[in-house]
């Protein structure tokens, strides 16, 4: 037996039924859809309808709560801050969110910048950000700096 001689077993495959190809095909005229009604028309989807029975997606229990307007924070790791300071892209000392954006560490601020404790920091920095994890605060204080968590500036705060 050669590769080009391989065939399916007899009766293993069946050619598809070509619908709506004249009376001789057996499925001409209305193409097996019956006469009139919603299912005979094109562009109708009644997949979720279960004949008046309560649909499955309504019967299953719903869990949790989806916040309609969640807060999105730009996330910065301590290791990246140290890397930017070592590279000379960021000055150690007083660092705020505007400085992080200016040096390219944060692309956009969203609802504020949040500092996380991934990585090591050795430089003495005074960070002013919207949020920080406990581990990040401890790591910065251990290096001799401080993190000030400031409230985010919103549009209605001025009014």
Specify if 61 maps to a domain: no
User: What domain range is 97 assigned to?
Assistant: 74-153
Counting the structural domains of the chain, the total is 1
Specify if 48 maps to a domain: no
Specify if 141 maps to a domain: yes
Specify if 44 maps to a domain: no
Answer whether residue 51 shows pLDDT above 90.
no
Specify if 149 maps to a domain: yes
Q: Percentage of the chain with pLDDT > 90?
A: 60
Specify if 34 maps to a domain: no
| Helix/strand/coil for 129 | strand
Task: Express each pLDDT in 52-97 by its tens digit.
Answer: 899 888 999 999 998 899 999 999 999 999 999 999 888 888 989 9
Q: Find the CATH number of the domain harbouring 128.
A: 3.100.10.10
Specify if 52 maps to a domain: no
Specify if 36 maps to a domain: no
135, containing H or E segment: helix 134-142
């Amino acid at each position: 037996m050669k590769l080009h001689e391989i065939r399916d077993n007899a009766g293993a495959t069946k050619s598809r039924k070509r619908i709506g190809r004249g009376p001789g095909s057996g499925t001409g005229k209305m193409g097996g859809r019956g006469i009139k009604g919603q299912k005979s028309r094109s562009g109708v989807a009644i997949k979720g309808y279960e004949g008046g029975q309560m649909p499955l997606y309504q019967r299953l229990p719903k869990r949790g709560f989806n916040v309609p307007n969640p807060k999105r924070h730009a996330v910065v790791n301590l290791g990246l801050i140290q890397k930017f300071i070592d590279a000379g892209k960021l000055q150690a000392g007083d660092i705020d969110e505007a400085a992080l954006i200016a040096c390219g560490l944060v692309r956009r601020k969203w609802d504020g910048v949040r500092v996380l404790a991934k990585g090591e920091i050795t430089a003495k920095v005074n960070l002013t950000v919207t949020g920080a994890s406990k581990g990040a605060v401890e790591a910065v204080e251990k290096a001799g700096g401080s993190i000030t968590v400031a409230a985010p500036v919103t549009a209605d705060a001025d009014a």
